[in-house]
Structure 1
Amino acid sequence: MSEKENLVRFGISMPQSLIEQFDSMIAKMGYDNRSEAIRDLARKALLTSSTMKPDETVAGTIVMVYDHHSTDLPITLTELQHDYHHAIISTMHIHLNHAQCLEILVVRGEVAKLRDLQQRIQVLKGVTYAELSVTHVDESSHDHRHGHAHGEHH
């Protein structure tokens, strides 16, 4: 929040049990007061891919868990990632156990295209979890290619 922004006060009504749970949670998270916790919740809600304009350029992650023994699933996932190679910046693959893998795709592009990729992953047989999390709105540019070469020092 910028220093010049005016703070606006407003009241919130909540059931006693909910506010007690909220106060307990935010204390464990290290918040000093409800206001900052609610501001963070509002910021997070505004970064939800479902509430953003489809052509908004963002960065984030797609996290998935799948059974790598599922017929042809690893091949299908690889082909799908190649179809979206312009949107995928990096991947991390972790073996959770004998059958399950966790894969994280770091992505950047238009919300609609990233949501499409997440949905195409989610519906594949053997995928038990796939979630798009938007972590940054790129307000400076509609062109999501960055202007430096990897490996160069600035």
Structure 2
Amino acid sequence: MRRLTISVDNALADAFDELVKKKSYLNRSEAFRDLVRKELGDAELEDSDSSWCVGTLTYVYDHHARQLANRLTEMQHNHHDIVVASQHVHLDHNNCLETLIMRGRANEVKACAHAITSQTGVHHGNLHIIPVELSSPSTRMATKF
């Protein structure tokens, strides 16, 4: 492991210390490593849409919208290679929440997510993707750490 030394102004150091405390990190180094990992992962996904990723798509939709539930299910089946699991929750009489677990190339995961969240009656869609490295193309994915 290498040691890095950085200098920051007092206000930034104080704000960082508050973040460390708020997120219950044991020390600044762990918090810093997480921030760097996140930024590197985001940069990797921006630089290459063909990078492999896993992701979650969470959205709320109006379950009374005409044929929407059927369209959403059909879209998930049409992308069975990307959508590997789903969870459905009834929020109230009109609204349902679904969370999809997805995997594949980033551009394909993003396209599938956008196709789903752009449906009329879908509200508050949010995609969270994490870059991963395949241990082999035909087997499970192994996350880079």
Shorter-chain TM-score tier: 0.7 to 0.9
- Give unpaired runs (5+ residues) of structure 2: 141-145
Distance 1:50 1:39, change over 3 A: same
CA contact under 8 A between 1:60 and 1:134: conserved in structure 2? yes
Assess, with a 3 A threshold, how the Cα gap between structure 1 residues 68 and 52 changes in structure 2: closer, same or farther. Answer: farther
Output the CA distance in 1 between the equivalents of 2:15 and 2:95.
34
- Asked if the contact 1:88/1:107 (under 8 Å) is kept, the reply is yes
For structure 1, the 5+ residue unaligned runs are 148-154
| Deviations 1:8-29, CA, capped at 9 Å, x for gaps | 2222347x2x654443332132
Structure with bigger helix share is 2
TM-aligned CA distance change 1:45 to 1:71, over 3 Å: farther
The RMSD of aligned alpha carbons is 2.3
> Residue 69 of structure 2 corresponds to which residue in structure 1?
74
In the aligned structure 2, how far is the partner of 1:76 from the partner of 1:125? 11
Distance 1:146 1:126, change over 3 A: same
Paired position in structure 1 for 2:41: 47
Count of aligned positions: 139
**2:113 paired residue number:** 118
**3-state DSSP class of the match of 1:89?**
strand
Task: Tell me the alpha carbon deviations over residues 77-111 of structure 1, each in whole angstroms, 9 at most, x when there is no partner.
Answer: 11211221111111111111211111111111101
What is aligned with 1:10? Answer: 6
Alignment partner of 2:76: what SS? helix
What percentage of residue pairs aligned between the two structures are identical? 34
The question of 1:23 aligning with 2:17 is answered: yes
Instruction: Identify the range of structure 1 (61-70 vs 31-40) with the bigger mean alpha-carbon deviation.
Output: 31-40
